[in-house]
């Protein structure tokens, strides 16, 4: 090895040592990109242990049913969420995943919560249909109770001859507060359960 080769090796070694010395300071300024950021939303039936979950399906008037609703934050920072609880019949539109548009239906009630990154929240949602009118080929729900609070609604469904029932869908839309535009935005996630509301036998 001649002198100029040795000089090059020596300079490289010094540069590497310099970078090592600077690393703690650089770490304060440089932020490496994290993984994918997203929010989880789930809905379990009362029997979480079984894979089927035993989601309520055939529901009677004035009977209380329960499901477990949950969120986990993977957004890399504290997030402020709200979940809108909505009820649709077979003709109402679902939220549009493709265009990220929420359902235009008015919410029955809502949940609001803040979650730190990596934290999750789960709550049992109790619901019952308290005032339902069954007419000729149609049913009208006038009152629903969600987690102890009663709400007056007017939601009708026509008799489904194929499914032999009055079908409704109870669904939960996830909204997240966007601090850049200072408003809640639909997070393009919702979970739902189909319900066949039946008369008490």
Partner 1 sequence: MKTRKSTQKIVAYFILQMIVLSWIWPACFPMDIHQAETSLNEAENSLTSAYNAVSQADRAGANVTDLVDKLNIAAALLANAYGLSRSGNYDQAISYSTRSSQDASEVQTEAESRQSVAQNSQNERLFLSSAASGVGLSVLFFSGLFLWRFMKRTYRKRILQLRPETRATG
Chain residues in the site for partner 1 (CB under 8 A): 3, 6-7, 10, 14, 17-18, 21-22, 24-25, 28, 77-78, 80, 82, 107-116, 149-152, 177, 179, 182
CB of 53 to partner 1, least distance (A): 25
What CA–CA distance (Å, rounded) separates 24 from 89? Answer: 59
Query: Considering beta carbons, is residue 13 or 138 the nearer one to partner 1?
Result: 13
Q: Write the burial class of residue 51 (CB in 10 Å: 0-12 exposed, 13-18 middle, 19+ buried).
A: exposed
Shortest CB 11 distance to partner 1, Å = 9
Distance of alpha carbon 146 from alpha carbon 1, whole angstroms: 82
Rounded least distance, CB 171 to partner 1, Å: 17
CB-wise, 84 or 193, nearer to partner 1? 84
Closer residue to partner 1, CB minimum distance, 96 or 178: 178
CA atoms of 12 and 16, how far apart (whole Å): 6
Nearer to partner 1, 3 or 52 (CB): 3
Could you tell me which of 82, 157, 169 has the C-alpha nearest to residue 127?
169
CB 105 within 8 Å of CB 87:
yes
CB of 148 to partner 1, least distance (A): 10
Which residue pairs, CB below 8 angstroms and at least 24 apart, start in 131-134?
Answer: 131/61, 132/61, 132/197, 132/199, 134/166, 134/199
Coil, strand or helix: which one is 3?
Answer: helix
CB of 7 to partner 1, least distance (A): 8
Closer CB to partner 1, 53 or 130, in the complex = 130
């Amino acid at each position: 090895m001649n002198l100029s080769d040795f000089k090059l090796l020596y300079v490289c070694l010094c540069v590497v040592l310099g970078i090592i010395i600077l690393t703690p300071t650089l770490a304060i300024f440089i932020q490496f990109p994290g993984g994918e950021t997203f929010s989880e939303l789930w809905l379990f039936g009362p029997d979480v242990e079984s894979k089927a979950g035993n989601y309520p399906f055939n529901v009677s008037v004035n009977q209380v049913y329960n499901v477990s609703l949950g969120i986990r934050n993977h957004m890399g920072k504290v997030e402020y969420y709200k979940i809108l609880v909505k009820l649709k019949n077979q003709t109402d539109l679902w939220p549009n995943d493709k265009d990220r548009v929420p359902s235009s239906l008015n919410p029955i009630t809502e949940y609001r919560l803040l979650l730190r990154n990596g934290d999750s929240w789960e709550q049992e949602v109790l619901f019952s249909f308290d005032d339902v009118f069954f007419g000729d080929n149609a049913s009208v729900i006038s009152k629903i109770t969600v987690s102890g609070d009663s709400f007056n609604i007017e939601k009708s469904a026509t008799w489904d001859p194929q499914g032999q029932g009055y079908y409704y869908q109870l669904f939960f839309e996830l909204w997240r507060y966007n601090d850049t535009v200072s408003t809640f935005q639909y997070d393009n996630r919702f979970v739902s359960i189909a319900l066949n509301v039946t008369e008490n036998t």
